[in-house]
């Protein structure tokens, strides 16, 4: 995809990013069988404590001695001691660098939270994290569960953005499109768009983005 970076959907908020033989699992749930087509994870990113993002049984099944698990403090507190040993806590606005002979990776935490009063109970500010991955010179943004926050609207130089849109938990397609038009990623992948009333209208999201800025490429992957 992005100069041999591959982004593979698993389901809903779960994905695998692969580069040069390394695998980054994001919010792995669904048991080990959901990842049969992928190599073992070198890194696992977890955005929040909810069951569609954090599943201890899945983590225990796919974790290896060399896996680095990254997430916010609230996630670490939910993990058994067996998984805490190789856990790195990240905070909004801070980053950690990892490098090997084959790969240089920098991971930055991005605040994720709800704005609407009726939704603040779902994702309070300060608990979960979105991420920016700086990988092979590309910047990949993973929104996690969030609305169109100040932090999202002011992102810079994003090559690929994975942006959520599902009610009542995150935001409308209109809000997601508005934020994307503000921070102008080169490419945007709608993800995490199943809500209580079914799937969000991602075709409308694409239409809104392309009507506002035809240079932003909207790519629809198969999440469901």
Q: Give the domain ranges of the chain.
A: 6-218
pLDDT surpasses 80 at 2: no
Output the CATH code of domain 6-218: 3.60.15.10
pLDDT of residue 3: 62
Pairing of strands 14-19, 6-11: antiparallel
pLDDT of residue 183: 98
Rg of the chain taking only CA atoms, in angstroms:
16
Taking only the tens place, the pLDDT of each residue in 114-131 is 998 888 888 999 999 999
Taking only the tens place, the pLDDT of each residue in 45-60 is 999 999 999 999 999 9
pLDDT surpasses 60 at 175: yes
> Which of these, 108, 109, 68, lies nearest to 85 by C-alpha position?
68
Q: What Cα–Cα distance (Å) separates residue 7 from each residue in 3, 24, 38, 223?
A: 11, 10, 12, 12
Taking only the tens place, the pLDDT of each residue in 5-17 is 999 999 999 999 9
Q: What is the pTM of this model?
A: 0.96
Mean pLDDT of 72-91: 95
Beta partners for residue 105, in sequence order? 98, 135
């Amino acid at each position: 995809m992005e100069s041999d970076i591959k982004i593979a959907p698993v389901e809903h908020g779960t994905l695998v990013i692969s580069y040069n033989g390394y695998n980054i699992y994001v919010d792995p749930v669904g048991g080990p069988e959901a990842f049969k087509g992928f190599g073992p994870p070198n890194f696992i990113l977890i955005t929040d404590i909810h069951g569609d993002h954090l599943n201890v049984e899945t983590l225990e099944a796919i974790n290896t001695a060399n896996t680095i698990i990254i997430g916010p403090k609230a996630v670490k507190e939910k993990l058994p001691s067996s998984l805490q040993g190789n856990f790195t806590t990240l905070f909004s606005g801070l980053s950690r660098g990892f490098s090997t002979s084959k790969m240089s990776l920098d991971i930055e935490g991005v605040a994720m939270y709800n704005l609407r009063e009726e939704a603040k109970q779902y994702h309070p500010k300060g608990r979960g994290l979105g991420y920016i991955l700086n990988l092979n010179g590309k910047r990949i943004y993973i929104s996690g569960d969030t609305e169109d926050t100040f932090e999202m609207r002011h992102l810079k130089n994003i090559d690929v953005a994975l942006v959520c849109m599902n009610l009542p938990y995150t935001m409308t397609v209109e809000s997601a499109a508005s934020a994307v038009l503000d921070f102008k990623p080169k490419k945007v992948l709608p993800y995490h768009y199943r809500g209580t009333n079914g799937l969000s209208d991602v075709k409308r999201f694409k239409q809104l983005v392309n009507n506002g800025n035809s240079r932003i490429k909207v790519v629809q992957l198969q999440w469901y």
